[in-house]
Amino acid sequence: MQDAERIAAQAVERHRREPSQLLQILVETQDGIGHLPAASLTRIADLLDLPRSRVEGVAGFYSFLYTEPVGRYRILFSDNIIDRMLGSRGLMESLCRRLEVAPGEVSAGGAASVDTTSCTGMGDQGPAILVNGLAVTRLDEGRVERIASLVRAGTPLVEWPAEYFRVDDNIRRRGALLGEDFVPGAALQAAMARGRQGWLEEMRISGLRGRGGAGFTTAVKWLACRDAPGTDKVVVCNADEGEPGTFKDRVLLASQAERIFEGMTLAAWATGARQGLLYLRGEYRYLLKHLRAVLALRRAVGLLGARILGEGGFDFDIDIHLGAGAYVCGEETALLESLEGKRGTPRIRPPFPVTHGYLGRPTVVNNVETLAKTTLIALQGGAAFAATGTPQSTGTKLLSISGDCAYPGVYEYPFGVTIEHVLEDCGAHDPQVVQVGGASGVTIAGHEFHRRIAFEDVPTAGAFMVFDGRRDPFEMARNFVHFFAHESCGFCTPCRVGTALLKGYMDKLASGKGAKMDLADIEWLDRLLKNASHCGLGSSAPNPVIDTLIKFRPAYERRLVSLDFKPAFDLDAALETARRMTGRDDPAAHLDWREEV
Amino acid sequence: MSDSIGMPRVRVATTSLAGCFGCHMSFLDMDERLFELVKVVEFDRSPLTDIKHCGPCDIGLIEGGVCNAENVHVLREFRRNCKTLVAVGACAINGGLPAQRNHLDLGDCLQQVYVKRDGIEEGGVPDDPELPLLLDRVHPIHEVVRVDYFIPGCPPSGEAIWKFLTDLIGGRTPRLAHPLLRFD
Amino acid sequence: MGGKFLFDGRPVPFEEGQTILQAARAAGHYIPHLCWHPDFPPHGSCKLCIVKVGGRHVSSCALPARDGMEVESNTPEINGERRALLQMLFVEGNHFCPSCEKSGNCQLQALAYELDMSSARFAHFYPDRPVDASHPDVLLDFNRCIFCELCVRASRDVDHKGVFALTDRGIRKHLVVNAESGRLADTDFAVSDRAADICPVGVILHKRVGFALPIGERKYDEASICTVAMEKGE
């Protein structure tokens, strides 16, 4: 334990005993120990002068932080419906069998633990896993067999085949953003030549709206932050791409990091911010080294730091914060809490981040793609940018396409493209359902394929999951409901309890115990979640259920075994312990659940 | 209650599952109103009649939660036969006191009581087929059958039961308000 | 810059900075709440105080009043949703009122009475939440926690101790105390703390005073929570 305390203390010192760095300190402490023993939390709390209970509260919040020992190899299977369609469940069983470990547990001797995790953003090259936080793609039986022997042999990850960790960009269609070369600094020079006000004006003309899903006008956000009282403004890049089925930000971070950081700097030029933070989801940790290298390069050539491009008073630099497995942190105020080293609980709004954001300072929070797009506006001007897309949805949109199609990957389209057009391009042969916008998005049935990707029709943060005739829309919705129940922060009653209840009803139907009354209860829960939730996670959690109940109702109805009522639990199984304890197996020792009441 | 001469009487059945009969005692606490009640009500299966099985009824009153196989059979019999099924009291509604064992393992409980307890010599879990087997958890009755109404309380007062039944028999949606609505 | 808004059709004046709930209370209109407390800033987690403004549901404890708003609160629709939120809280924990010392003084129970909740409707979770009786003066019965965080806030912001915090998330979220042992006795908690008297339900209970006042003669036995809240300012 003394080792644990020493490692914890070193992490605290590296972060200059700064309480807002708590999450980073916990991540690094765990890197050194394998998990977070109770003594390490006590030590961290002492050194940061925080109540230990608060440190424990943060450590308990994030999926990738462990307060109990885990395997030396922590293997997490991405559990999105797309990974499942690619066979992830069978592969996980196979690996568990080979490693002699049950899901969610640690193998004898502590070599390995195997479990599931929310979508890791590799839908175009799954099934995917994380091994000690690093992404492994294109899993198949051969890789599982090899990984099992590497684990058994205790081979360090650096000696595993590099091919396993290869993550492809799979860019299939290039538009303005992905199609043009970018010279670092060029966009910044163009924007600076226009002056701060002139640059904001170009942003206004562009009509750029946030690509994270909500679609708020970026220039309005920047202007509000610029005009907010306070001189210590902050620009935050939201790279917590957690929406199941989305991976376009991962591709941008890997291939367009210069544009992203330049976009942040452009936001700083507009707002007067001096500090920038990029919040990188824990699943994309493997990109950290690359991103830090790009930052160092930009500092070296005067694109970050003091007097950017020689401009007096234009000082701006960027830090990267690592997330630790919490989808809710994609919500901008939860993300700010997490950046401050707290539990990722969404804040009450108003006040909004533009006036009271990171540490109470005026803060702009923009999505990765949004920031990258600002470089196009700086280079071409707002009017040229607005010439693409639709009047309400200007420019292009990146789609992360996965599922039942020949060419999964990232596609850049002008806004307004029809869903059927996209389906044709990606080689979807028998599409029955498209889930646009991820688990929280819209379920599109065949009769709607003429609809358009645009804020005013089918809005999306970028996920586009294709399901063909072999798939069951109910199982898709159930997978998403499990996702939301797992990711609910638990702050508000409707989401904390409602997602757990909804999961119970969906599992009841799946296990063949569904009754007509359950559908009414499901619809009632849908309504409560939608109306009463604190943030977007809760209010959009029922979306896949609402949509599939409307558009694929038979998928639910054919699971019903009663038009009235059935218990959710197996009555006969509930007697099993008593049968075992008494050694009885006579007819009276059983209950027939099918008996009509 | 209105004059009921010539009107067919409402048939009511009552039973106690995993309960303490406290709700039935409370029912008797209606005192002289019981005379009013029997003018419009006749009893089917109930501790008051000693009828062993429930026949077709208008109203079934269930006290107690579901803790064993027999409870399940009785509850199903009531649900099959009663047009309106009412959960009476805390145990029927949320498991109540018997459900305090729900966070314990049933096997451990039986071991502790019948095998390991001090003073027990030749211990053993009773295995007579006459004895109903215990469910691993105690359930409120609405988790086992569809339930139409609930009268909370431990027990609900005679006054509350009276108000509820007169509403129901009179064709009004029963409603218990403060101070008749109580959970303790 | 204050103004006036309509609360269930009746005009309610407000001052700049007042929330809907504060202004409504000042005008004599009760809005149900559990995590809100007059001595603390709004928290917004229980959602019992939801009202409808311009067709949208909002937390009235947190939303500043605006001139000309039309607020719906005491309607069958909103009260139905509030009742369902209570039912969620009841099935999530272990709320056995007959054996709870807080019965009759409990805001959760009193609100259930107020909102005509006769059953918990959903399936009970029956979570396993062991009690902590380690402290000489105070018992913690986590079975009844509704995660209002009033104890967290009182201990942090008034007592300056940080005795309580929440850990884990979602349905597994739970209260912890400020000690590596996890025992209240190993914290600096004192029965005189503000946090010792803030729990709206029966989690934080003083020892040796159980059932001093008989069931039937307690706060919400005498009057409804709506009356108590408005007359005593609770």
Span A442-487, pLDDT tens digits: 999 999 999 999 999 999 999 999 999 999 999 999 999 999 999 9
SS3 track for C152-185:
HHHHHHHCCCCCEEEECCHHHCEEEECCCCCCHH
Structural domain of A404: 397-468
Q: Does B164 touch chain C (CB under 8 A)?
A: no
For residue A498, list chain C residues with Cβ-Cβ distance below 8 A.
88
- The answer to whether residue B97 sits within a structural domain is yes
Residues A214, A154 within the same domain: no
**Cβ atoms of residues B101 and B131 within 8 Å:** no
Q: Is residue B177 part of a domain?
A: no
Q: Is C176 within 8 Å of A501 when comparing Cβ atoms?
A: no
Same-domain check for residues A129 and A216: no
Neighbours of A54 (CB within 10 A): 26
DSSP state of A208: -
Query: Does the residue B182 lie in any domain?
Result: no
Q: Which residue of B has its CA nearest to C123?
A: B143
Give the whole-angstrom CA distance, residue C109 versus residue C103.
7
The rounded mean pLDDT for chain A is 97
Enumerate the residues of chain B whose CB falls inside 8 A of the CB of residue A597.
76, 79-80, 145-146
Confidence class of residue A206 from pLDDT cuts 50, 70 and 90?
very high
Mean pLDDT along residues A272-292:
98
Rg (alpha carbons) of chain C, rounded to whole number: 18
Residues of chain C in contact with residue B93, where contact means CB-CB under 8 angstroms, are 118-120
Specify if C87 maps to a domain. Answer: no
Query: Residue A238 pLDDT > 80, yes or no?
Result: yes
Q: CB-based contact (8 Å) between A59 and chain C? A: yes
Percentage above 90 pLDDT, chain B = 86
Q: Which among B80, B126, B129 has CB closest to A586?
A: B129
Distances (CA, A) of B135 to B17, B18, B66, B91, B113: 13, 11, 8, 15, 16
Which of C57, C64, C147 comes nearest A532 by C-beta? C57
Residue type, A503: K
User: Is the CB of B100 less than 8 angstroms away from the CB of C96?
Assistant: yes
Main-chain dihedrals φ then ψ at residue B74, nearest 5 degrees: -65, -45
Tokens (6 digits) for A13: 């010192």
A49 close contact with C: CB closer than 8 A: no
Total tally of structural domains belonging to chain A? 5
Query: Are A200 and A154 within one domain?
Result: no
Domain membership flag for residue B112: no
* Token pair listed for A420: 């059927």
Chain C residues touching chain A at CB-CB below 8 Å:
42-48, 50, 57, 59, 62, 64, 81, 84-85, 88-89, 91-92, 122-123, 125, 146-147, 156, 161-173, 176-180
CA angle A262, A268, A270 (to 5 degrees): 110
Task: State the CATH number of the domain containing residue C117.
Answer: 3.30.70.20
Token pair 């009268």: residue:
B151
Give me the DSSP letters along A132-181.
Answer: TTEEE-S--HHHHHHHHHHHHHT--GGGS-GGGG-----EEE--HHHHS-
What's the pLDDT score for residue B119? Answer: 81
> Are B76 and A597 in contact (CB < 8 Å)?
yes
> Please, what is the Cα angle at A44 between A42 and A50, to 5 degrees?
85
C119 and B90 in contact by Cβ < 8 A? no
Q: Is C234 within a domain?
A: no
Per-residue pLDDT, A360? 97
Q: How far apart are CA A546 and CA A472, in angstroms?
A: 15
- Rounded CA gap, C31 and C59, in Å? 11
Mean pLDDT of A587-594: 85
Domain contains A392: no
- Residue B160 forms part of a structural domain: yes
- Residue B176 in any domain: the answer is no
CATH of the domain at C18: 3.10.20.740
Q: Write out chain C residues lying below 8 Å of A568, CB-based.
A: 123
Q: Same domain, yes or no, for C106 and C221? A: yes
- Per residue in A332-387, pLDDT tens? 999 999 999 999 999 999 999 999 999 999 999 999 999 999 999 999 999 999 99
Report CB contact under 8 Å: C170, A500.
yes
Substitution target from C75, C83, C88 for chain A, most A beta carbons within 10 A = C88
Examine the domain organization and report whether A228 and A310 are in the same domain. yes
Residues A337 and A266 in one domain: yes
Which candidate in A493, A505, A569 is best for mutational testing of the C interface (most C CBs within 10 A)? A493
Residue from the list A565, A582, A595 with its beta carbon closest to the beta carbon of B125: A582
Is the same domain home to A379 and A303? yes
Looking at the domain assignment, is residue A492 inside a domain? yes
Cβ atoms of A322 and A64 closer than 8 Å? no
Specify the DSSP class assigned to residue B117.
Answer: S
Within 8 A of A588 by CB-CB distance, chain B residues are 69, 129, 132-133
- B69-73 mean pLDDT: 97
Query: At C92, phi and psi to the nearest 5?
Result: -70, -35
Task: Report in angstroms the alpha-carbon separations of A246 from A177, A243, A252, A377, C21.
Answer: 18, 6, 12, 24, 40
Number of domains forming the structure of chain B: 1
CB hemisphere CA count around A374 (13 angstroms): 34
Domain CATH for A278: 3.40.50.11540
Residue type at A237 in one-letter notation: C
User: For B143, which of C118, C123, C127 is closest by C-beta distance?
Assistant: C123
* Chain segment B1-10, per-residue pLDDT in tens: 445 456 789 9
Considering A165, A186, A205, which residue would you say is the last residue of a domain?
A165
Residues A334 and A353 in one domain: yes
CA distance C43 to C196: 19
> pLDDT by residue (tens digit) across A149-186?
999 999 999 999 999 999 999 999 999 999 999 999 99
Query: Does C118 sit within 8 Å of B184, measured CB to CB?
Result: no
Which whole number is the average pLDDT over A541-557? 98
Range of the domain at C68: 3-74
Q: What is the spatial distance between Cα C89 and Cα C100, in angstroms, rounded to a whole number?
A: 16
Residues B43-53, mean pLDDT to the nearest whole number: 93
State mean pLDDT over A431-444: 98
Q: What is the predicted pLDDT for the residue at B1? A: 46
Instruction: List CB contacts (< 8 A) between A39 and chain C.
Output: 180
CB contact at 8 A, A505 and A525: yes
Min distance C45 CA to chain A CA atoms (Å):
4
CATH code of the domain in which A420 resides: 3.10.20.600
CB contact under 8 A, B129 and A589: yes
Mean pLDDT of B163-170: 96
Look at C180 and A39 and tell me if their CB atoms are within 8 Å.
Answer: yes
Asked if A205 and A383 touch (Cβ cutoff 8 Å), the reply is yes
Q: What pLDDT does residue A193 have? A: 98
Q: How far is B39 from chain C (nearest CA, A)?
A: 28
The answer to whether B136 touches B106, Cβ cutoff 8 Å, is: yes
The percent of residues above 70 in pLDDT, for chain A, comes to 99
Task: Tell whether the model's pLDDT for residue A109 goes beyond 60.
Answer: yes
Give, as one character, the DSSP assignment of residue B112.
Answer: I
Residues B98 and A564: their CA atoms lie apart, in Å, by: 28
**Which chains contact B through at least 3 pairs of Cβ atoms less than 8 Å apart?**
A, C
Q: Are residues A505 and A432 in the same domain?
A: no
Alpha carbon of A103 to those of A79, A114, C77: distances in Å? 13, 5, 43
Query: Taking the CA of residue C150 as centre, how many other CA atoms within 13 Å lie in the half-sphere pointing to its CB?
Result: 25
Per residue in C114-154, pLDDT (tens digit) is 999 999 999 999 999 999 999 999 999 999 999 999 999 99
The structure tokens 């008034």 sit at C158
pLDDT by residue for chain C (234 residues), tens only, comes to 789 999 999 999 999 999 999 999 999 999 999 999 999 999 999 999 999 999 999 999 999 999 999 999 999 999 999 999 999 999 999 999 999 999 999 999 999 999 999 999 999 999 999 999 999 999 999 999 999 999 999 999 999 999 999 999 999 999 999 999 999 999 999 999 999 999 999 999 999 988 889 998 999 999 999 999 998 877
| CATH at B23 | 3.40.50.700
pLDDT score at B116: 87
Last residue of a domain, one of A468, A494, A519: A468
Report the residue of chain A nearest B69, measured CA to CA. A591
> A-C interface: how many C-beta pairs under 8 angstroms?
125
CATH number at residue A478: 1.20.1440.230
What are chain C's partners, defined as 3 or more CB pairs within 8 angstroms?
A: A, B
Q: What is the extent of the structural domain holding B83?
A: 10-101+137-169
For position A34, what pLDDT does the model report?
95
Q: How many CB atoms lie within 10 A of CB B93?
A: 27
Instruction: Determine, yes or no, domain membership for B110.
Output: no
**Does A528 contact chain C (CB < 8 Å)?**
yes
- Please give the order of strands across the beta sheet that includes B149-151: B41-43, B10-16, B57-63, B82-88, B149-151
Strand pairing report for A275-280 and A234-239: parallel
Tens of pLDDT, residue by residue over A503-529, are: 999 999 999 999 999 999 999 999 999
Kindly state whether residues A140 and A156 are assigned to the same domain. yes
Q: Is residue C185 part of a domain?
A: yes
Best CA proximity match to A495, nearest among A509, A513, A483: A483
Smallest CA-to-CA distance from C51 within C73, C23, C81 is with C73
